[in-house]
Amino acid sequence: MNLIIVESPTKSKTLSKFLGEGYKILASMGHIRDLPERKFGVDTSHDFTPDYVLIKGKEETVKNIQETAKKAEKIYLATDPDREGEAIAWHVSQLLRVPREEKVPRVPRAENSRGTRDTLDSRDTSLFRITFHEITKHAIGEALAHPGQINMALVNAQQARRILDRIVGYKLSPLLWYKVRKGLSAGRVQTVAVRLIVEREREIEKFVPKEYWQIFAQLRKYLGGKLPNAPIFTALLVKKNGNKIEIQNRIQADEVVAELEKAGFEIGGVEKKDAKRFPPAPFTTSTLQQTAANRLGWSSKKTMQVAQDLYEQGLITYHRTDSTNLAWEAVNKCREFINQQYSEKYLPEAARIYKTKSKVAQEAHEAIRPTDIKLKINPPAGGEKLKMREDEERLYDLIWKRFVACQMKEAIVEETRVDINAIGQINIYTLEARGEVEKFNGWKILYDKGNGETAKTGIRIDSLDNSHRFAINEQPEQLPPLTKGDALELQKLNPIQKFTQPPPRFNEASLIKTLEELGIGRPSTYAPTISTILERMYVEKKEKNFVPTNLGFAVNDFLLEYFPDVFDYQFTAHMEDDLDEIANGKQEWVPVVREFYEPFNLKLIGVSRVAERVAVETETTGEKCPKCGQGQVVIRVGRFGKFLSCSRFPACDYRAPYIAKTGLKCPKCGGEVVYKKTKKGKGFYGCSNYPKCNFASWRKPK
């Protein structure tokens, strides 16, 4: 009997479909060992040696694995092909190398950190490491035919990250308890994420809107009084006497409108050109999370949970990757599918190759794709329909379409730009109209929201301060046939007052994109980072956007005042590069950790002596306490979120649930709409008259 050890029962079940009776498959149920919960667990005096212990509740799981391993001829560690999976495999191997009554051995020291393989002694010749990026019969067969050993470079990279996070969290959190508020915590990446959100919020608060005006003209080609009217199209005023026009107030707008009303309009030039629209690259972890947030409205945590289920069922390749590489076999099958299903005109002459920015090739062999291109959510008549939950269907469909689309021919659009001269009594004005007609939909037949033949006109301009762009005046009709010198009739002028807008708040998609661009965090860290800052009430979600709480402001300001280098964007990104270097076997992990720890620890000692306690500003409702009538009812943040309390606490122990009022009327009964949260913490809008009125909506009613 051969033993295969994986992380989850679902993965075990899928593997069992492809293996015979000679294999026994057991699940470790994730990590089996970790640093202890209630003590530091890192020996900083001896090369940061970690004191790993069994995770509570894993005793029976480990016992079962150990007992089964004694009877096995060969043991295969088949955990996920990334740093976490490699670490799980290594921890399992450590427990299988010694009798259960012996003490759990310490982790190997730095001498092994350069090697790519762990050296096994004579007792371990039957212990192997196998990896596969998709759970298919072929991939499993290949892995078993070419077993390897544990990659200690990946183990050390995971170990270094875990120890660094333990140092920051365990050493810095007590300081926050003492200087800010009890129960707080800090983390390397989470604190930087909060910093981004806080700094964006302050940009918004400081932003001073500038007034500007846009003038649109509705025009049509002059055909003469006896001919039918030509179609109307819209143009935007862009220049005055050859220079970019800036209209800053109503008085200026009225002056321009008055002159334009008496001006003569004619076509100054027409420019047409074909433009190619290439398909997006196949999904990486971050682009999958961003797209699922934008198209499905999902949190990064939910996206990763559903993707994990799809991977363990053998439906998609491994979902933690920053690579856009694709296996040639998968690409060739995809091209065959496109040729058969969509015809030759949708197939490029050569396969598309997407360059990968990944620095860790071991972790990123492929992008996220379906394991079998023929497995579709809605197959042709007679085809077998995939059986999965609704959420799994939606994400699988997104991954399947993105993969197929990335190998399809580019879309072609005809772009038209029309310059219009308006000759006034004093000045000459220039207006611009733009149109775009799709000549060939290409990959958009599958992946784009608007399939088929489409045409639109639109105008994109810069605001006065050149910091934001606006897409305006989109219309379903295309521009009519126009030629240089054509006379035009003015139908209507439409001056519109506008104001420059502040930068938008971060949502899940834009925060992940920014973290990735800055080089902060890695694919596996984005979802837990966002979940952590929400759970700890450093930020909250409003209309799917992140808004820092008063607590978030206070913690951010304290940490940046006393530890500006630790939570600097470049420093954090550099630390990620070091971890990548460890994973590639180019650096040892102990020196990297020591380089961080020694100055950090010295600064920690100094800050604990000189820093003053920070007062967190408390939100108030402006109402008197209903219990004592003396204090104010204030909004506090506890373990389970916001609640109402008396400002005189502990003298008055009044406490009540916090319900955020919106000032909107319930569309169903006329009561007040309030903002609530589900048991899982997801926000929604409901009626204050519940349960008499059951109105509820994920979106804020208008």
Catalytic residues: 318
Degrees (nearest 5) of the Cα angle 525, 528, 531? 145
Tell me what percent of the chain is helix, strand and coil, each rounded to the nearest 5.
35, 25, 40
Q: What whole-number distance in Å separates Cα of residue 241 and Cα of residue 262?
A: 16
Q: What whole-number distance in Å separates Cα of residue 362 and Cα of residue 92?
A: 21
Classify burial at 607, counting beta carbons within 10 Å of its beta carbon; exposed 0-12, middle 13-18, buried 19 or more: middle
Q: Which residues contact 431 (CB under 8 A, 6 or more apart)?
A: 217, 235, 236, 237, 238, 265, 419, 420, 422
Q: Please, which residues bridge with residue 496 across strands? A: 214
Tell which residue, 516, 611, 31, 83, has the closest CA to residue 318. Answer: 83
- Amino acid at the residue 114: R
First to last CA, the chain: 65
Record the tokens describing residue 174, joined without a space: 């007590």
Record the tokens describing residue 152, joined without a space: 């200690």
Q: What whole-number distance in Å separates Cα of residue 326 and Cα of residue 405?
A: 13
Evaluated on CA atoms 510, 511, 512, 518, the torsion sign reads positive
Record the tokens describing residue 702, joined without a space: 């208008």
Tell which residue, 279, 278, 269, 231, has the closest CA to residue 416. Answer: 269
3 state SS of 401:
helix
**Own/partner pairs, 88-93, CB within 8 angstroms, 24+ separation:** 88/7, 88/28, 88/30, 88/31, 88/32, 89/5, 89/129, 89/150, 90/118, 90/150, 90/152, 90/155, 91/31, 91/32, 91/33, 91/52, 92/5, 92/28, 92/32, 92/65, 93/118, 93/124, 93/127, 93/150
Integer Rg of the chain from CA: 31
Q: What whole-number distance in Å separates Cα of residue 368 and Cα of residue 337?
A: 18
Q: What whole-number distance in Å separates Cα of residue 272 and Cα of residue 439?
A: 13
Q: Which residues contact 411 (CB under 8 A, 6 or more apart)?
A: 276, 277, 438, 440, 441, 442, 443, 444, 448
- If one counts every other C-beta atom within 10 angstroms of the C-beta of residue 318, the result is 25
**Own/partner pairs, 661-669, CB within 8 angstroms, 24+ separation:** 661/688, 662/700, 664/700, 664/701, 666/693, 666/695, 666/701, 667/695, 667/701, 668/693, 668/694, 668/695, 669/693, 669/695
Q: What whole-number distance in Å separates Cα of residue 528 and Cα of residue 533?
A: 9
